[in-house]
Structure formats: structure tokens, C-alpha cells
Structure 1
């Protein structure tokens, strides 16, 4: 019964890809030359140093949205410069709930896909969907906790894929959870499939067709839902591009920041990619 693996499982796993929309989409590439930390009172940009990059040097820090420290030295700002620093601080902070919401919606989409797939196959209240929903809910709670300014956020040069944050394998964790659940419950799944064949009077060929249609319906439903998340991910790209633009203004207006460049955003597709001039 290889069709089960090729259609239904594939459809269930498709939903996990939506979680990666939080930090990976074709129209946007964000490069960071430094990491940064955000808490309720400050944003600090840090550079890794040392033989094993195990030490950090503060590049610059914004305190209370208006005070600027470069290399730990307080920088006197004009009224116009202070407005620019405050705007920069606000735009960076606004990124956090945007990223959190997309990541959470990605996990929620995975939960919906899992329940559509396994409830449709095994019936509502089955242990497979229940166990998997529980595991995905734990991942969701982790996202909420890690993307909380109140708790403090640390972002490495890998951006929101940083090990300090969601991790490079965030979407892979969801996919692995689904695969594990399928493998652990294969016996129950095969029994349920056999019972359905006996109940409906299907032969193997007609049952295979029905299951393939079932898988295609799930994939169609999940694709439609994931399109909404992808739009929100694109909005994140635009927000980061705006942060990049303000950083360029800071470099032009505040001399101690002239040679510091944290954000580089490339937008577009393929050869049409455009990078902000640095």
C-alpha cells in the first residue's frame, strides 16, 4: 500500500512547510552582520569575537528608545537624530509580534492538517491526532515563550533561524513529529484502512483512488490556508526592508555609526533581486 505513503502522508507533511514562512520565502533574503538582543528597555547589537566566537563586543545599543551608545560610549543626539533612533527602535520591536504570529500560525496550520488527515482516516478522537496535536502544541508554546520581548530575545547572525531563537531546524521538527507519529501508529492505520475497505466493499484499486483523492483534498485545503501565511511572511520582509532603510539614514546622520551595517535586505526574484546600496 505504497499509495498511503505517497499521498496521505505527503499531504500531512506539506503543512509543516508553512512554518518555515516565518523566516524563508523566495522574495526576501535578510543578511545580518551582527546579532542583537531585545528586552523591554533596550536593543543591543553585538559582534562575535574570540577564536571560537564565544565572546561578544557591543557595537551599539539603544536604551529606552532614545539613548544611543556606540562602543559603550554615550552619543549626544540632536532632536532630529533622536527621532530617527526612536523610529529605528520602534520598527525593530514591531518585527517581533509579526514573526511570532507567522510562526504560530504555521504550527496551527500543521495541527489543522494533522487533524484533517488522521481524523478523516481513523475517525475523530483517535490517539494519533491527539498525541501529535499535543507535541505540536508544545512547539507552539516554545515559540510564544522565545518570541517575547518581556522575556528577552536574542537573535544571532542567522536571524530568526538562530539557535538562540527558533533554530535552523524549526520546520524540520514539525515534519519529524508527523513522521514519528505515522510510524508509531502504522498498525492502527493499516487496520483502519482494512476495516474501511471491508465496510465500503472497495477493492484495493478503488480504495487507493479514494485515498488519493482524500490526500489531494487535504493538500488543496492546506495550500489555500498557507497562502494567507505566506502573504504575512512577505509583509515581514517589507518591514525588515524598512528597518534597513532607517539604518542607512542613521549611518548618514550619526557619524559614529557610519561604518556599521547590520541589516542587508535583498528583495525580488532571481536576477531581479535588488540590494540596498551600502
Structure 2
């Protein structure tokens, strides 16, 4: 059984230069910087316990943001490695298709980096970009998919030539060629699954952290009347058979 962790942000959450801004249901803006808390520019009057809760919330978000970023970037890098090894085995090292595919995946990697990191290297996050399609939105996904399809179509001739060469190298023995490719595929799958397993373990830990953040929101809404409506993070899990 596998468990999917689904996280949704209700409202707008922005992190920039350690300033965390939450747009509440009533359109008020809560600003947290790790030391102070203000609503619409007016500092909140809080006791020590309440301020500790909000500072803890700020710290958790600031800690989780780079975890999300590195997880996404590492997943893209793993995809690039798998694609490169598969096509290099069939077409030979340094083939043009792998270079082009790697270039497209690097474009995706670069876009992810721009979304999570500012020019000065500081972590940033803007939940509204998930909602309005700016972050890997529909237009980007369509264009990316079309470029990949064009690359593959353009390389079909190379595939056929490579297949012919592989047959010649194996003396026309199709079974020997199939066996070699199956062995390579099994090894590649094992290698990718081992690396993917590490990423999955990090994703599971991240999901637990997100649930902890959601519970902290509940505590804040219970103990700070002015933030009784705080309910930004929604975490749910669905289970399915593999």
C-alpha cells in the first residue's frame, strides 16, 4: 500500500526574506518575522505563550520551504538521470537527443529554482502562483510537453538506425539484444527505485512536518482569539494499492 500526502493552502501565503505573510479569510494580512506579529501593519498585543506559538509557526514554515524546494529539484534531477541513461544505452554516449532532452529538463529545473530561490539565494514562496497557473501552469506544461514530443518525433530516425546497429553488433540475434536490453532495464529500474525510495522517505517526513504545522494552526486559533479563523494548511492522505 502507498500513501499520498495531499497539501492545500487555503488563502495566500508568502515567504520572502524571512517575512511570512498570511492572508486570512477576512482579508486581513498577518505578518510574522520570527520575533514580532502584526495584522495590517499594527503589532499584535500578545502574551509570551501566544508569541511563542506564532514564532514557532514562522520557524516551521521557514524550515519546510527549502525542504519542498530541494525535494522537487532532486526529483527532476532523478528524472534527468533516468532519461539520459536509458537513451545513452540505445543511442550511444553524447547523442544529440539526450543533450536536447537534458536541456529541456534543465529548463524545468531552472524554473523550479527561480520559484523557490531569490537572486540573493534566500528561500521564497508564494502560494498564489500555484493557484493562478504562474507556477508550472497550464501554458508552461503544454509547451514543455510539446517540446518533448517534437524531440522524440525528430529522433525516430536515430532510434531506427541505433536499433539496426545494435542488431548488427549482436550478429542479428534479436533474442541476445532483447536479453541485453532487459538486463539493462532491470538494473536501471533498480538504481532508480533505490534513489526514488530515498526521495519518497523524505516526502513522507515532509508530510509529517506539514501535519504538525496544521496542528499548530489549530492550537494558534484556539489560544489567540484574533486568529480564531486561522486555517491555512490542509493535509489529507489517500491510500491506494501499488
| 8 Å Cα contact 2:13/2:21 also seen in 1 | yes
Q: 1:32 to 1:153 in 2, by over 3 A?
A: closer
Measured against aligned partners, the alpha-carbon deviations of 1:67-99 in whole angstroms (never above 9, x if no partner) come to 223355432111221111111001001111101
For the residue of structure 2 that corresponds to 1:26, the secondary structure is strand
- Residues 1:242 and 2:242 aligned together: no
**Aligned-pair RMSD on alpha carbons?**
2.9
CA distance in 2, matches of 1:151, 1:83: 23
| 8 Å Cα contact 1:58/1:72 also seen in 2 | no
Measured against aligned partners, the alpha-carbon deviations of 1:145-199 in whole angstroms (never above 9, x if no partner) come to 211263742113958xx73434479889877665443322111111011011112
Which consecutive residues of structure 2, in runs of 5 or more, have no partner in the other structure?
A: none
The equivalences for 1:129-140 within 5 A come to 129-140=98-109
CA distance in 2, matches of 1:60, 1:214: 55
Q: 1:239 to 1:68 in 2, by over 3 A?
A: same
- Residues 1:94 and 2:63 aligned together: yes
CA distance in 1, matches of 2:135, 2:60: 19
Q: 1:170 to 1:101 in 2, by over 3 A?
A: farther
Tell me the matched-pair count: 236
1:121 matched residue in structure 2: 90
For the residue of structure 1 that corresponds to 2:38, the secondary structure is strand
| 8 Å Cα contact 2:65/2:123 also seen in 1 | no
1:156 matched residue in structure 2: 128
TM-score (norm 2): 0.83
The equivalences for 1:1-278 within 5 A come to 26-46=3-23, 58-70=27-39, 73-148=42-117, 150=122, 152-156=124-128, 163-167=133-137, 178-267=148-237, 269=239
